[in-house]
Amino acid sequence: MDKARIIQQINQHKIQPNLRYQLKEKTEVFTNLLFYTLFDIETPVKENLDKLEATFDVLVDLACWDTQKPCKKLWENYVEKLPNVLQRLNLDAEATVTCDPASLSIEEVYMAYPGFYAIAIYRLAHELYKVGFPLVPRLMTEYAHRQTGVDINPGAVIGDSFHIDHGTGVVIGETAIIKDHVKIYQGVTLGGLFVAKHLQQTKRHPTIEKNVTIYANATILGGNTIIGENSVIGGNAWLTESVPPNSTVFHTPEIKIKTLPNVS
């Protein structure tokens, strides 16, 4: 074995100068610190904010490859948004308690519901996404995705009192818009109708108006698709066109009776 040759070839093909996996690990540490700071009653907020700022400085050094972008100025603006994010997350938790008869306490929602955890990390990441902080918001939501099976792109716009029941398999695309008091179940996809790179700057994902319920494994596609308020989308429904307010949409299964051979 020519070890020197192998090392040379590997180094030759390591072509991404900014690919540092410690950014991923540090983002996960930052995400956990955020979660504890906002929710854990025994975590001192003041001390943890100092830790968060130090960790954020590391993320800036690792993620801000463009030196012309003032990433270091983002921290103070981000911290100012955290009380509002927490207030909105408390509304999400209350919505889950109200919607799910299986929830025994609001503490259970904060600690044991994957849907709530995914929403929490999404909301924390979304504030960084809005100001263009590179890569970190996506790493945050991907961390939540890995733990919960809920894939929410940090670019999605989601209103208050949002509830995801069970969670696993939910996909919410980058340009999706979800209004207040929406409830979705496992396996729901809010996706794009077409997959093409030239559509990157367009609205590719649907809009869900207020008070909509979307049941398990429903698929709703397209940037022009609007689900009107107060509508109910049944399980396994497939929609690529808009639905007016107050609608009920069902998936109708096709049932065929097997014909047995005539044996005499």
pLDDT value of residue 172: 98
Tokens matching residue 214: 């979307």
Tell which wins on pLDDT, 70 or 129: 129
Question: In sequence order, what are the residues at sequence separation of 6 or more whose Cβ sits closer than 8 angstroms to the Cβ of residue 64?
Answer: 71, 133, 134
| 3-class secondary structure per residue, 86-118 | HHHHHHHHHHHHHHCCCCCCHHHHHHHCHHHHH
Task: Report the distance separating Cα 139 and Cα 31, nearest Å.
Answer: 10
Q: How many CB atoms lie within 10 A of CB 240?
A: 12
* pLDDT, tens digit (0-9, with 9 covering 90-100), for 174-223: 999 999 999 999 999 999 997 777 767 789 999 999 999 999 999 999 99
* pLDDT, tens digit (0-9, with 9 covering 90-100), for 10-62: 999 999 888 889 999 999 999 999 999 999 999 999 999 999 999 999 999 89
